[in-house]
Structure 1
Amino acid sequence: MTDARFEDAGGEAPLYLGAETPEDLGVLSALVQDAVFPVNEMRWLPRKRRFALLVNRFRWEDREAAERERRPYERVQSVLAVDGVLSARTQGFDRKDRDLVLSVLSVAFEPGTDGGGRVMLVLAGDGAVALEVEALDVTLKDVTRPYAAPSGRAPEHRD
């Protein structure tokens, strides 16, 4: 018997992952890095204590296969949801600008007391979303089939 390998993952199988520890959240953060979304696809539902984003995420998990098979890079629409949200704050962008498209750089957890803390969504251009949570409870779920990335390129990061 051999250990499971990343390469063994099921091609176009949709992701549905949860994070309850900072280490888990690091995996989700890597998967949503460079995800883009219009500002109007961001929702905070105070009564349900839920914050959600509908993002177009780059399929980092498929990058090497796309290069090896010489096929287009892909994106997929995904819901990034945070549950147990007590408050939500934004900075660095105008939520009323309906033409604004934002890009996720990272998602991190800053622990507080009694298991609570703050989930921080860091956005390109100095934007951020701070979510005070009673516990770390984040999910990422693909909700469409993958599609060819419109740019035809993988996102790049320069130091």
Structure 2
Amino acid sequence: MNIKNYKPLRLMAADSEDVEVVSACLQDAVMKVGDMAFLPKEHRFAFVANRFVWEEGANRKRGPFIRVRTGVHFDDVTGVKARNIRQDAKSAVVSLLAVRFEQAANDDCRLLLEFAGGGEISLEASAVNIALSDISDPWRTQSKPEHDA
């Protein structure tokens, strides 16, 4: 792929199927703990991350591959809980494995951000309302994330 031809990804998610697409795009995104924030007055949880561009490198065995800086925000968030993520370790790097949707008993939902090593952030939300936008020029990387089968 010619890096100059890269078109920034922009996605919106409004239901559980959309969450699966967002999850696939964010798989193996890396970020610092300090690059995540819950803004309770705005009902927003947001982060910036270095996203592996799976849509350009999933079927190739050798690089170069591409990463890009992306911004993501979840709106209509009413609460956030973190498990196995040290909030005071702002410079710690975490790797996002998946974003999962769970329907709550009422019309609310839970969005789970699952990280390598067992960390998790649970977002309580009144609706699925996610936006993802690539915000930087892409850069080359030789390594492709790998997972045990």
Q: Give 1:141 deviation, angstroms.
A: 0.7
RMSD after superposition: 1.8
Match of 2:17, as an amino acid? E
CA distance in 2, matches of 1:63, 1:144: 18
Aligned to 2:74: 82
1:118 equivalent to 2:94? Answer no
TM-score by length of 2: 0.91
TM-score by length of 1: 0.86
Match of 1:25, as an amino acid? V
The count of corresponding residues between Structure 1 and Structure 2 is 146
SS at match of 1:62: helix
Aligned to 1:21: 15
1:55 equivalent to 2:45? Answer no
Q: Deviations for 1:94-152, whole angstroms, at most 9, x for unmatched residues?
A: 11012310000100111114431111000111100000001011111101111112xx1
User: 1:110-149 counterparts in 2 under 5 A?
Assistant: 110-149=102-141
Aligned counterpart in structure 1 of residue 36 of structure 2, from 42, 50, 71: 42
Q: Give 1:11 deviation, angstroms.
A: 4.2
Aligned to 1:156: 146
SS at match of 2:42: coil
Aligned to 1:31: 25
Checking the alignment, whether the CA contact within 8 Å between 2:63 and 2:144 is kept in structure 1 is no
CA distance in 2, matches of 1:121, 1:12: 27
Q: Deviations for 1:47-96, whole angstroms, at most 9, x for unmatched residues?
A: 1000001010100011158x49x761010000121000000110102110
Unaligned runs of 5+ in 2: none
SS at match of 2:23: helix
- In terms of fraction of residues, the more strand-rich structure is 2
- CA shift in 2, pair 1:118/1:154, >3 Å: same
- The runs of at least 4 consecutive aligned structure 1 residues that moved more than 6 Å come to none
SS at match of 2:99: strand
Q: Give 1:38 deviation, angstroms.
A: 0.6
Larger Rg: 1
Checking the alignment, whether the CA contact within 8 Å between 2:19 and 2:99 is kept in structure 1 is yes
Unaligned runs of 5+ in 1: 1-9
CA distance in 2, matches of 1:153, 1:96: 29
